[in-house]
Amino acid sequence: MTPVALGLVLASALAHATWNLLAKRAQGGVGFLWLLFILTTVLWAPVAAVVLLLTRPVVSLTTIALIAGTAVLNTLYFVLLTAGYRAGDLSLVYPLARATGPLLATIAAVSIFGERPTALALAGAIAIVGGALILTGDPRALRARGAGRAALFAIATGVVIAAYTLWDKQAVSTFAIPPVVYDWGRNFGQVLLISPLAAPRRADIARQWSEHRLEVLGIALLGPLAYILVLTALTMSPVSYVAPAREIGILVGAIMGTRLLGEPDMARRLAGAAAMVVGVIALALG
């Protein structure tokens, strides 16, 4: 990975963990997501328009299909992630969700494509699993404090992360769709997808805007910025390097949850998150 790509990925990780902190504070549902997608589309429209005029990419049925596909995957991602935050702690949900993607990608490569990972990559996978066990703690305690449901949402989110990372790599690399334009199209697609669900919830939308407008604004700015940085890095580095490197946000998210939100078991959760970061790096190097 080039130094420029690494810098983009690290900046993205910080922005990503920060907007997840805001999402945890809001714990929004459909009304919150509708506000978020609308505001994101409006705020980033001028930037996308400038890039579109400067680059003049070829818009084909394939381009539209790729944008539609990522809109579906990312809408599902937000639904699962916010459900996880309503059910459990940031320092539990965020690391589990972020680490599951690279682990599942490795499993898929072995079982579907017949790849043979190195000993280092296998050690990384084991470290991620071990970190997850440390992070969640005693399985009996999970049920006692209702965290088991949050963990399931986090793992499901990780499945979607693995899917959209591979999908988006093809869009910006193989088909050369400008990252800013691609990301704006994704947000516009999310507005179309969630609007029918949001229409009957006007009271909830008004309440979410009244109580969480700062969180909506923060996520609308930082969310696309974080992913545009990643998409830009994907244009210059392989996904096998970019996807694991961005998971340094796992540790950042765990620190934010325990230090800023006062979530319990700080030492154990930071240890679990750190093990996951080491595991993801090992996967990348292996």
The tokens for 272 are: 């679990």
Instruction: Report the pLDDT value the prediction gives residue 280, as an integer from 0 to 100.
Output: 73
CB contact burial 155-179 (16+ within 10 A = b; e otherwise): bbbbebbbbbbeebbebbbeeebbb
Q: Is the pLDDT of residue 110 over 70?
A: no
Is residue 147 within 8 Å of 89, Cβ to Cβ? yes
Q: Is the pLDDT of residue 286 over 70?
A: no
Give the pLDDT mean for 218-229.
Answer: 90
Helices (H), 56-178: 61-87, 90-111, 119-136, 139-144, 147-169
SS3 at position 275: helix
Give the pLDDT mean for 197-201.
Answer: 92
Q: Which domain holds residue 220?
A: 3-285
Q: 232 or 210: which carries more pLDDT confidence?
A: 210
Instruction: Report the pLDDT value the prediction gives residue 248, as an integer from 0 to 100.
Output: 76
Q: Is the pLDDT of residue 217 over 80?
A: yes
Q: Is 119 exposed, middle or buried (0-12, 13-18, 19+ CB in 10 A)?
A: exposed
Place 264 in a pLDDT band, splitting at 50, 70 and 90.
confident
Tokens 């244009």 correspond to 235
Give the pLDDT mean for 191-214.
Answer: 93
Tally of domains in the chain? 1
Helices (H) and strands (E) in the chain, counts: 12, 0
Separation between Cα atoms, residue 51 and residue 92, nearest integer Å:
38
Q: Give the pTM.
A: 0.81
Place 18 in a pLDDT band, splitting at 50, 70 and 90.
very high
Instruction: Report the pLDDT value the prediction gives residue 205, as an integer from 0 to 100.
Output: 93
